[in-house]
Amino acid sequence: MTRLRQASAWRKKNESTTNDETRKVKFRHSAFVIVSSFVIRTSSFLFSAIFPTALQAEENVSVLGSKPKWSVLEKYQETITHDEFNRLIHDVYCTHGFAPDLIEVSAKTAHVLIDRDSQKFFTLRFAVNNAGRKPVPHLWRPAKSLSPARADKPLVGLKVVLDPGHLGGKWAKMEERWFQVDKSRPVQEGDLTFRVARLLAPRLREFGAKVSLIRSGGEPVTAKRPDDFRELARKILIKNGVPLPREDVLDPNDPAKEQTIRWQSEILFYRYSEIRRRAALVNFKLHPDLVLCLHFNAEGWGEPTHPTLTDTNHFHLLVNGSYLAEELEFDDQRFEMIRRLLSRAYDEELPLADTIALTMARETGLPAYEYPTTNSTTKVGMSGYVYARNLLATRLYRCPVIYCEPYVMNSNDAFVRIQAGDYEGTRLINGVERKSIFREYADSVAEGLVDYYSKARARGD
Ligand SMILES: [Zn+2]
């Protein structure tokens, strides 16, 4: 990857910096590229470090990723027609295009590059037509394959995993998911999402769902800690033109802190290692039919101890898709994209996300978030609130995943409601009788699930 391409990737990602996954730091970018935004994807800084060179083609995988086993895709032979494959790849997964030498679609087959050096390809054979299509194998169950349910238990038997985003507690400052206005209670996203999950779990169980939380408190799921990544952090920095990286951040407001071993090893811990560990739990232990990733959004708040509050408030939902051309260059991301496409998770995610979007819009009264550019996201579905985007969690969890991003935490309205905490019934907040923000969030997601599964699965009464 050339310096020029890194720079353009940086600009692309930085044009839309208002998302939750933006790190709330101001920084100057120096001679080489450092990316503060969208670190939940592979940040370009880490990205460029692992990007293949002639010397390390065998390591052409993203941060903490592993070499894909392409043979597992054999089970998808003849499970999809040419037209269906084309629709999903162009309208959902590769909306920004892809290099012609990575994926080649012909009438009967698709060839997907396994390894550029050896020029090996995986060949997918299409079903001749819909009637000749073999069943799609997956461990999760689509709504229509669930056994019939009684009208008052539309979620009976459904296995749902709730993934409250981030860690919270003592980790919130490290995650840069923390701000405090004067002497008010600090706002820590990981604690807010956990609160929503604790309210949402019993709501879903009332309707018959089997629900588990991916974390039981503010502690990480990964057993690793930042110190475990110091060597990798050092290597990444050296590869990116910092020959003698500093160990520690001396001044937390110094934008050059991203060039320290501490900062890099921390993000490897709380973002990459943590989400990969959660994915292992989802994929190898919990085997849910659906994962709900719970987040709160934010607009850039500047100094966490003197944060900017804004009148802007909105929400949106994300499903996996919209891979960037440079992300598809990674062997593991290209493989995971194809596996996800073939699993047809999208066929379940999209109508479910659209349904949840409508109940959330009704309950919260929030407008749809509009990304300032379409460089990393693609609007999908009918509701106007749902985007496709390649986030680590939506890519790695091998089942339908809905990633919720309601409320701007540092909006004047949400801030007051967060400070009011959780309560029963309604209270007068900013002149309006409202539920607690946590209950409103949980209730509106639960309503969306009830609406969707009531219609999508067979009735048993
Ligand atoms: Zn978040």
Ordered mean pLDDT values, 10 residues apiece, the chain (461 residues) = 28 30 29 29 40 46 93 98 98 95 97 93 97 95 93 96 96 95 97 98 98 95 97 92 87 82 95 97 98 97 95 98 95 98 98 98 97 90 97 98 98 97 95 96 98 88 66
Q: How far is the CA of 165 from the centre of ligand 1 (A)?
A: 5
Q: How far is the CA of 292 from the centre of ligand 1 (A)?
A: 13
**Mapping DSSP to helix (H, G, I), strand (E, B) and coil, where does residue 421 land?**
coil
Instruction: For Cα atoms 305, 307, 312, give the angle at the middle one, nearest 5 degrees.
Output: 160
Q: How far is the CA of 190 from the centre of ligand 1 (A)?
A: 8
Q: How far is the CA of 76 from the centre of ligand 1 (A)?
A: 33
pLDDT, residue 122, reads 98
**Which has the closest alpha carbon to 453: 406, 403, 402?**
402
Q: How far is the CA of 263 from the centre of ligand 1 (A)?
A: 19
CA separation for the pair 371, 388 (Å, rounded): 12
Q: How far is the CA of 21 from the centre of ligand 1 (A)?
A: 6
Written as one letter, the residue type at 3 is: R
Q: How far is the CA of 367 from the centre of ligand 1 (A)?
A: 19
**Mapping DSSP to helix (H, G, I), strand (E, B) and coil, where does residue 72 land?**
helix
Q: How far is the CA of 189 from the centre of ligand 1 (A)?
A: 7
Q: How far is the CA of 277 from the centre of ligand 1 (A)?
A: 17
pLDDT, residue 430, reads 86
**Which has the closest alpha carbon to 334: 390, 253, 271?**
390
Written as one letter, the residue type at 44 is: S
**Mapping DSSP to helix (H, G, I), strand (E, B) and coil, where does residue 268 land?**
helix
**Mapping DSSP to helix (H, G, I), strand (E, B) and coil, where does residue 96 land?**
coil
Instruction: For Cα atoms 238, 303, 372, give the angle at the middle one, nearest 5 degrees.
Output: 80
Q: How far is the CA of 215 from the centre of ligand 1 (A)?
A: 15
CA separation for the pair 76, 72 (Å, rounded): 8
The residues facing 108 across adjacent strands are none
Q: How far is the CA of 149 from the centre of ligand 1 (A)?
A: 34
**Mapping DSSP to helix (H, G, I), strand (E, B) and coil, where does residue 316 land?**
strand
DSSP states of 69-123: -GGGGGGGTTSSBHHHHHHHIIIII-TT---TTTEEE-SSEEEEEEETTTTEEEE
Q: How far is the CA of 192 from the centre of ligand 1 (A)?
A: 10
Q: How far is the CA of 430 from the centre of ligand 1 (A)?
A: 25
Residues 6+ apart with CB under 8 A from 57: 115, 116, 117
pTM: 0.89
